[in-house]
């Protein structure tokens, strides 16, 4: 209750009484009615730096994911869009429902987008969003890591497209220690293997958001990332927190945050912090 009151006071202070009344009305409307409304409208539109893409809202989880990404990833998306060149090859590792994939593909004229996502409900929504935006991109339906084979993967019991929590589960954690209710095995491979097998072209820009497993992804594509062709790397480094664990951090995979930064630096990148939050660090690495 205290949190809701403080949020209301903040809206009133920053936006005024009219905005507070609107926010209160919206808060009282059940999420599923919003889902129905946006479906009738043909989806939600997200515009970043004059680039627009539409997204299906087939479930409450997708709606919440869209709203979360719209707010928390806005600065990151603005930076990515502003850095794009017409012929870039953009790898979206941890593509989720495809917000980054679709916006980047809309911007590129002759480039390629490579979305990589292992969670089936996200894959389904991602493909729908590609079709909705009349975009052609091959979805690679595996998780990236530092080895080939299979690995433990935690996910919700119910299919929830847009869910932020499905993730590779390190051997140091059990299923009941993260916000998930089922455990499956998913196929994994390295980024360098995808290139050597001809599955994907070498990237010029890479975005990694994989719930703590980012150092494994980086280790598995050191050849691609160290190439001069790869000029930009965006990484969300998930940090350990004192609160109840909801997802793995880099430390659960055996890396301290500063070791992940050193790993990136050793590949020839200079590092800038886009956003620092309690649970994660958004990094932009440049050559």
Q: Digits of tens for pLDDT over the chain (287 positions)?
A: 433 444 445 444 555 666 556 555 555 556 666 666 666 667 789 999 999 999 988 777 777 778 778 888 899 999 999 999 999 999 999 999 999 999 999 999 899 999 999 999 899 999 999 999 999 999 999 999 999 999 988 877 666 766 667 778 777 665 555 555 677 789 999 999 999 999 999 999 999 999 899 999 999 999 999 999 999 999 999 998 776 556 789 999 999 999 999 999 999 999 999 998 888 999 999 99
Asked if residue 87 and residue 17 are part of one domain, the reply reads: no
Strand bridging mode 112-116 / 44-48: unpaired
CATH at 130: 3.40.50.150
Asked if residue 122 and residue 32 are part of one domain, the reply reads: no
* Angstrom distance (rounded) from CA 40 to CA 57: 10
Count of structural domains, the chain:
2
Asked if residue 29 and residue 145 are part of one domain, the reply reads: no
* Angstrom distance (rounded) from CA 68 to CA 79: 18
Asked if residue 250 and residue 187 are part of one domain, the reply reads: yes
Domain that holds residue 182: 43-286
User: Which pTM does this prediction carry?
Assistant: 0.85
Asked if residue 120 and residue 32 are part of one domain, the reply reads: no
Asked if residue 87 and residue 28 are part of one domain, the reply reads: no
Classify the C-alpha dihedral 49-52-53-57 as positive or negative: positive
Asked if residue 243 and residue 203 are part of one domain, the reply reads: yes
Which pair of tokens denotes residue 78?
Answer: 């603005």
* Angstrom distance (rounded) from CA 240 to CA 41: 40
């Amino acid at each position: 209750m205290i949190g809701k009151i403080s949020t209301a006071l903040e809206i009133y202070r920053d936006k005024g009484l009219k905005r507070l009344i609107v926010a209160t009305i919206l808060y009282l409307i059940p999420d599923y009615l919003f889902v129905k409304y946006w479906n009738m409208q043909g989806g939600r539109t997200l515009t970043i730096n004059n680039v627009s893409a539409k997204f299906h809202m087939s479930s409450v989880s997708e709606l919440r994911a869209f709203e979360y990404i719209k707010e928390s990833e806005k600065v990151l998306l603005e930076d990515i869009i502003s850095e794009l060149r017409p012929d870039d090859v953009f790898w979206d590792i941890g593509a989720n429902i495809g917000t980054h994939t679709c916006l980047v593909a809309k911007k590129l004229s002759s480039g390629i987008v490579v979305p990589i996502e292992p969670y089936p409900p996200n894959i389904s929504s991602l493909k729908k969003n590609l079709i909705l935006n009349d975009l052609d991109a091959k979805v690679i339906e595996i998780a990236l890591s530092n080895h080939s084979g299979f690995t433990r993967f935690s996910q919700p019991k119910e299919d929830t497209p847009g869910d932020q929590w499905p993730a590779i589960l390190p051997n140091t954690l059990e299923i009941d220690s993260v916000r998930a209710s089922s455990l499956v095995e998913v196929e994994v491979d390295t980024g360098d293997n995808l290139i050597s097998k001809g599955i994907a072209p070498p990237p010029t820009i890479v975005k990694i958001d994989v719930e703590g497993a980012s150092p494994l992804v980086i280790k598995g594509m050191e050849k691609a990332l160290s190439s001069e062709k790869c000029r930009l790397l965006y990484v969300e480094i998930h940090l350990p927190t004192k609160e109840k664990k909801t997802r793995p951090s880099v430390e659960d995979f055996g890396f301290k945050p500063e070791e992940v930064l050193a790993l990136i630096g050793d590949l020839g990148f200079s590092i800038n912090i886009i956003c620092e939050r309690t649970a994660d660090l958004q990094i932009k690495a440049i050559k």
